[in-house]
Amino acid sequence: MQLQLISFVLIILHCMDYTGCQQHSSSRHRQHKQISGVSSGCQQGGCLTCSDYNGCLSCKPRFFMHLERIGMKQIGVCMTSCPLGFYGTRSPERNTCTKCRSECDSCFNKNFCTRCRAGFYLHLGKCQESCPEGLVRSDTQRECVPKCPAECESCVNSDTCMRCRPGLYQLSGGCHHVCPEDYEPNDKLMECTPQVHCEVGEWSEWSPCSRSGRTCGFKRGQETRTRQVLQYPSPFGQPCPEISEIKECLVKRRKCPEPGERGTERRERRNRNNRKDKENQEGRRERKRERERERDTGEREDSDNRNKTEHRHRRGHDTEPVSPDAGLVQ
């Protein structure tokens, strides 16, 4: 009887201790939810069903169930996307967050890592401790990168350099000590750039034969012609050919007028032109006067003819015969 009583008391004490422990764990869970932003109760957040002790039990559509570990216990949390180190899997029953492989820092699925943990290097979605042949480890990227040629500082692969070592010139993914034919070094860009050759236009016509700027007073002179530069060359391009030519010429010698004679000739020429202008003006005035005289003469003749006609009419009227009966008195 006493043994049964002691057992009953121990059971009661055990239950009281379990209840207190449960309440303490629930309070700690609520505190954790407040800190981490997890909603309290199923009316908020992405939870569809939940419990105070275990958190979310199921999630609303499009949400992922993620189990957060707190000490020895796991709390269910519904999230729109899985945290770093997990990947999401969808199924008709539920969407869950699944942990990536141990060597992956982040992943797309269980077989494809996107970033490796320290000490591992990514190659084709796998995190491995060593890289395949032809690739080297990059601690900054945590990836297997191409092994660049000796003359490259960085490269896309073993055949394509992105930047050459100092003193070398880049061209089409390669590094050169001396640029190939038809290219020249550009020390500013440290690249091989295409050479630019000179281009010129067509020749002009030959100038008149002259000597010391004069076109008279000599028998032998020179003629010149020129052409324009259409494209100037680059430093290592083909230089421009001659853009002017001179050839000897022969002309019939003629005496150049003296400076005074030239002035006299100009004055005489000007006087002749003035006289011609004056004669032309006088001729125009004379022709105008003749036209006016002819017009006046024609008008006078027309007036005389009209007067004569009127006179004849009046004289014919005065000489008409008188009727015999005109003098009879009734």
Residue-wise pLDDT for 43-65, tens only, equals 557 888 988 888 899 999 899 99
**SS3 assignment for 257-268:** CCHHHHHHHHHH
Which letter does DSSP use for residue 324 in this model?
G
Give the three-class secondary structure for 9.
helix
Domain(s) labelled CATH 2.10.220.10 in the chain stretch across 41-99
pLDDT exceeds 50 at position 32? no
Name the token pair of 257.
């007028």
Q: Is 33 helix (H, G, I), strand (E, B) or coil?
A: helix
In this prediction, residue 125 has a pLDDT band, given cuts at 50, 70 and 90, of: very high
Q: Say which residues have a Cβ less than 8 Å from residue 316's Cβ, sequence separation at least 6.
A: none
What is the pLDDT, as a whole number, of residue 149? 83
pLDDT in tens, 60-93: 989 999 998 888 888 899 999 999 999 999 998 8
What average pLDDT is seen over the chain?
A: 79
Residue 328 has a pLDDT of 41
Residue 42: band (very low, low, confident or very high) from pLDDT cuts 50, 70, 90 = low
Among 20-24, 44-48, 159-163, top mean pLDDT goes to: 159-163
Q: Tens of pLDDT along 224-246? A: 999 999 999 999 999 999 999 99
The confidence band for 330, taking pLDDT boundaries of 50, 70 and 90, is very low
CATH 2.20.100 residue spans of the chain:
199-250
Which pLDDT tens digit goes with each residue over 292-317? Answer: 888 888 777 777 777 777 777 676 65
Q: Which amino acid is at 20?
A: G
Structure tokens at 296: 């006046």
How many other CB atoms are found less than 10 A from the CB of residue 119?
11
Closest CA to 208 of 219, 222, 220, 218: 222
Q: What percent of the chain has pLDDT over 70?
A: 78
| pLDDT > 60? residue 16 | no
Report the phi/psi class of residue 175: left, alpha or beta, with left for phi > 0 and alpha for psi in -120 to 50: beta
Q: pLDDT tier at 259 (50, 70, 90 boundaries)?
A: low
Helix (H, G, I), strand (E, B) or coil at 140: coil
CATH architecture of the domain with residue range 41-99: Ribbon (2.10)
- Is the dihedral angle over the CA atoms 112, 113, 119, 121 positive or is it negative? positive
Total-model pTM: 0.38
> Measuring CA to CA, which residue among 227, 186, 191 is closest to residue 206?
227
Q: Which of 17-21, 168-172, 282-286 has the highest mean pLDDT?
A: 168-172
- Contact yes or no for 101/107 (Cβ under 8 A): yes
Asked whether residue 290 carries a pLDDT value surpassing 80, the answer given is yes
pLDDT at residue 285 is higher than 60: yes
Please give the CATH topology (third level) of the domain spanning 199-250.
TSP-1 type 1 repeat (2.20.100)
The pLDDT value recorded for residue 258 is: 67
